[in-house]
Amino acid sequence: MSVKRAILVSVTAPTATKPAILSVDDDPAVSRAVVRDLRRRYGGDYRILRAESGASALEVLGELKLRGQSVAVLIADYRMPGMDGIEFLEQAMDLHPYARRVLLTAYADTNAAIEAINVVDLDHYLLKPWDPPEEKLYPVLDALLESWRGDERRPVLETRVVGHQWSARCSEVREFLARNQLPYRWYPMDEPEGASLLKAAGAEPEQCPVLIDATGRTVFEPSDAELAEFVGLQTAPSGEFYDLIVIGGGPAGLGAAVYGASEGLRTVLVERTATGGQAGQSSRIENYLGFPDGLSGAQLADRARRQAVKFGAELITGRSVVGLEACGAARVVRFADGGHIAAHSVLIATGVEYRRHPAPGIDEFTGCGVYYGSAMTAAGECADRDVYVVGGANSAGQAAVFLSRTARSVHILVRGESLTASMSHYLIEQIDKIPNIVVHTRTEVVAADGDGHLERIVLRDNASGVEEKVETERLFLFIGAAPETDWLDGVVVRDDDGFVVAGPDLMVAGALPPGWELARPPQHLESSVPGVFVAGDVRSESAKRVASAVGEGAMAVMLVHRYIAKQ
């Protein structure tokens, strides 16, 4: 990696700009009244903006996003034509996820406000009229602004990324930034603006991706660890010894971090790429308890991450774990770069990866039109295109529903007779009602082809044996789960598929597992090494659901307390 101060790059840090408070109301009289009250109290420290429709407000928010300017509070009227307040706030979350959200309602619409608590994670709702504002408006906004100012995750100035559209590494870098919810702007190097940035930075095309921050600092071809450090993520633990090391930032790992830190354990979570795991890439999770209208995996991951940090957990990003050792009472975790940390206990929550597709051409075009899972950056480039999704489980169905909003057509390819064997009923019903989603049963991809990027795939009807070549530039693969646990070989017991065996499953005819040194049997989520626990999808015989993973993460913390208490 090369990092330098690029004096010639035409990227200058914008002058300090006040954060914005945006009011949206289609009634001009009400809109003016809201803005009048806001300016009187907050005009000195915040930009007070107003819009008279959800669509125009989204345009304003988009401009603020591009300029790297932050939004503190969004205030939206519920009853607006074309786009009501809940719909507006839901879309605004994608642009400014950390802005506090307020819904203005009449007394008759309080049920809508309660509904919005789940749909858009509403912070507050206000009944109209709110006079006098000193009693009914300002105390609410004062509390929300104080909360916003103290938030651990604050919007930052955007990073500029220059590279080639069909570069696998450029795709990985953009995905890394998107999944970590870091604002960036993409400049293809074969377009004028991208080419000029590349030249000013003194970089060659083969050095892409090139990243440039708002001060002109640049980095060429960064690794994930170097990328994390460049954009300001924490990449090194602050201590050398902890009560609990959590390896993996999916739902199980985040659940353990939240409960571990909140219950007083010195907790550090180590994540290779971005918190959320596979669930974090889901466009919509609709069967998670307490969210009847669903929420995206990114929203769930971000809330859990902020919750863990609030309780004092450390979150380390961009570090790969390659080894685990038991050194007396300590459990030592080793990193790929040679570093290490130790703790009384370790929780393995590394989840699973999608299995590699064996068809010729797939590996060649991975990251260049072929993607494992719901690639956030690639999904945004599917408008008015024909895209293909391989897989019959919930993750494939959720991706298809999401892609169908902009794609011309979405084709789901499954080898089985139907979706019923592996997909939730509610999701199958949704798919049946979306006209531009087509399900192809007993069908699989047998080849991929293109010039520099994916251009076509070959499909085979397994019932008739007939093969068909179809044109497409986007193929998303969701073909089963495989644990990446080779680094645990010889350390803990794993089953034939590589999943970590724990608790009662380690017992053989009622006897303690071979090599077990304690008089007691392993606890429920404890591996074959005392003090090393496992939770979530990486555990053998786990339920492979978000809710169960979160529950196992919480349960693991209880078992860690028991283990530490007896040391």
pLDDT of 9 above 50 = no
- Structure-block tokens of residue 446: 């047998």
Summarize the confidence of residues 273-279 as an average pLDDT: 87
Question: Is the predicted pLDDT of residue 192 greater than 90, yes or no?
Answer: no
Q: Do domains 20-149 and 370-479 have the same CATH topology?
A: no
- Tell me: pLDDT of 552 over 60: yes
Closest-CA residue to 282 (of 298, 268, 301): 298
Higher model confidence: residue 132 or residue 414?
Answer: 414
Which CATH number does 156-230 carry?
3.40.30.10
User: Which are the contacts of 18, defined by CB distance < 8 A and separation ≥ 6?
Assistant: 45, 46, 47
pLDDT tens for 430-463 read 999 999 999 999 999 999 999 999 999 999 999 9
Q: At what angle do helices 85-95 and 110-119 cross, to 10 degrees?
A: 20
Q: Give the model's confidence band at 520: pLDDT under 50 very low, under 70 low, under 90 confident, else very high.
A: very high
Quote the pLDDT of residue 435. Answer: 96
Burial category of 462 from C-beta neighbours within 10 Å (exposed 0-12, middle 13-18, buried 19 and up): middle
Nearest of 411, 382, 410, 412 to residue 394 by alpha carbon? 412
Residue 120: is its pLDDT beyond 70?
no
Q: What average pLDDT score do residues 363-380 get?
A: 85
- Overall average pLDDT of the 485-499 stretch: 95
The topology under which CATH files domain 20-149 is: Rossmann fold (3.40.50)
- Categorize the per-residue pLDDT at 13 as very low, low, confident or very high, splitting at 50, 70 and 90: very low
Identify the CA nearest to 225 among candidates 273, 177, 162, 156. Answer: 273
Give me the CATH topology for the region 241-352+483-565.
Answer: FAD/NAD(P)-binding domain (3.50.50)
- Confidence band of 6 (pLDDT split at 50, 70, 90): very low
Least confident of 12-16, 29-33, 559-563: 12-16
Give the pLDDT mean for 546-558: 96
- What are the pLDDT digits (tens) for 77-97? 888 888 888 889 888 887 788
| pLDDT above 80 for 321 | yes
Q: From CA 141, how far away is CA 408, in angstroms rounded?
A: 43
CA distance 38 to 85: 19
Query: Among 64-73, 238-247, 398-407, which stretch is predicted with the lowest mean pLDDT?
Result: 64-73
Residue 160: φ, ψ to 5°: -100, 130
Residue 421's H or E segment, with its range, is none
Neighbours of 147 (CB within 10 A): 12
pLDDT-derived band at 156 (thresholds 50, 70, 90) equals very low
Q: What is the pLDDT of residue 378?
A: 75
Give the pLDDT score at 314.
Answer: 97
Q: Which of 494, 493, 496, 499 is nearest to 515 (CA)?
A: 493
Distance CA 548, CA 288 (A): 10
Angle of helix 297-310 versus helix 251-262 axis, rounded to 10 = 20
User: Which residues are bridge partners to 271 per DSSP?
Assistant: 317
Whether pLDDT at 394 is above 60:
yes
Least confident of 44-48, 433-437, 478-482: 478-482
pLDDT at 8 (0 to 100):
26
Domain boundaries, the chain: 20-149, 156-230, 241-352+483-565, 370-479
More confident residue, 398 or 481: 398
Strands 467-471 and 456-461 come out as antiparallel
Residue 295 clears pLDDT 50, i.e. is over it: yes
Per-residue confidence (pLDDT) for residue 39, from 0 to 100? 95
Beta strands in 264-419 (DSSP E): 267-271, 314-317, 321-327, 330-335, 340-348, 353-354, 370-372, 386-390, 409-413
- φ, ψ (nearest 5 deg) of residue 366: -65, 125
**CA 154/CA 69 separation, integer angstroms:** 11
Instruction: Work out the pLDDT band at 155, boundaries 50, 70, 90.
Output: very low
pLDDT tier for residue 66 given thresholds of 50, 70 and 90: low
pLDDT for 179: 86
Report the mean per-residue pLDDT for the chain: 88
pLDDT value, residue 113: 60
What pLDDT is attached to residue 108? Answer: 57
| Distance between CA atoms of residues 196 and 210, nearest Å | 12
- For residue 109, the model assigns a pLDDT of 61
Domain spanning 370-479, CATH architecture: 3-Layer(bba) Sandwich (3.50)
Give the pLDDT confidence score for residue 172 in this predicted structure. Answer: 93
Say whether pTM exceeds 0.85: no
pLDDT at position 359, please? Answer: 96
Contact of 313 with 261, CB cutoff 8 Å: yes
> What is the percent of the chain with per-residue pLDDT over 90, rounded to a whole number?
61
Dihedral, CA atoms, 463, 466, 472, 473, nearest 10 degrees? 80
Length of the chain: 567
What average pLDDT score do residues 191-214 get? Answer: 88
Percent of the chain residues topping a pLDDT of 70: 92
